[in-house]
Amino acid sequence: MVAAFFDVDGTLTATNVLMPLVWFMKANLPKWRYLLWLGQLTCRIPVYFVADQIDRRLFVKAFFRQYEGIRAEEAKIWCSEHFETHLKPRIYSDALRQVQWHKRHGHRIVLVTGGADFVVEPLANWIGADLLAAKLEELDGRFTGRLIGEPLIGEGKAKAIHNYADEHGIDLTKSYAYGDSVSDAPMLACVGNPVAVNPDRKLRRLALKRRWKIVQWR
């Protein structure tokens, strides 16, 4: 069986990992508390940027600390109910056409993301995809801000893809992978048909060197 593995933020959708939390906080906090929280988040962005440059796994772990104390069920329900208004409009039309092309050819669609599973699950359900995503730890009905297991970043994505392929009988040599960041390079290297989507500078350079396909999606 052939599969198409899609990164989400920046590849399938015009989003980043911060946006869903900002949407949720804006909708559920009083305006003054939201502005205070947003100001605190903004002050942390330089730290997040440095962490991302050193190792994206450090950034992801640090960022998910922002979920600490949030009621898990409330966040999950909100993300599901507001998929149509927030996440769905940000799906790249070109990406959706490519998903449909794979489905017409009988390929299995798999989303592989470092984002939280409950954020991406409505998208996966809507396009009919399996989902490999980060899971947040819960305690007494609230998120602790910690991840269960390692982030699905870099080699973590590659490992998840290999495990998925073993479990579902996927032929990776005939499969496809789509990613936008150099951190997606291990995922792209897993398959016979890697595609760099709107690649950052480092991924573009690597894709040219390895003769991977490069596309621009809008």
Instruction: Give residue 4's pLDDT.
Output: 98
- Rounded Cα–Cα distance for residues 43 and 47 (Å): 8
pLDDT band at 180 (very low <50, low <70, confident <90, very high): very high
Number of residues that make up the chain: 218
- Rounded Cα–Cα distance for residues 56 and 79 (Å): 24
Strand 136-139 to 142-147 pairing: antiparallel
Q: Tell me the per-residue pLDDT of 4-38, one tens digit each, with 9 for 90 and over.
A: 999 999 999 999 999 999 999 999 999 999 999 99
Q: Is the pLDDT of residue 50 over 80?
A: no
pLDDT band at 52 (very low <50, low <70, confident <90, very high): confident
How far, rounded to the nearest angstrom, does the alpha carbon of residue 17 sit from its chain's CA centroid?
A: 7
198 CB-near residues (< 8 Å, 6+ apart): 10, 11, 180, 215, 216, 217
Helix H or strand E encompassing 85: none
Beta-bridge partners for 147: 136
Nearest-CA neighbor of 202 among 18, 19, 21, 52? 52
Q: Tell me the per-residue pLDDT of 77-121, one tens digit each, with 9 for 90 and over.
A: 999 999 999 999 999 999 999 999 999 999 999 999 999 999 999
Instruction: Give residue 195's pLDDT.
Output: 98
Nearest-CA neighbor of 22 among 45, 41, 50? 41
Q: Tell me the per-residue pLDDT of 123-154, one tens digit each, with 9 for 90 and over.
A: 999 999 999 999 999 999 999 999 998 889 99
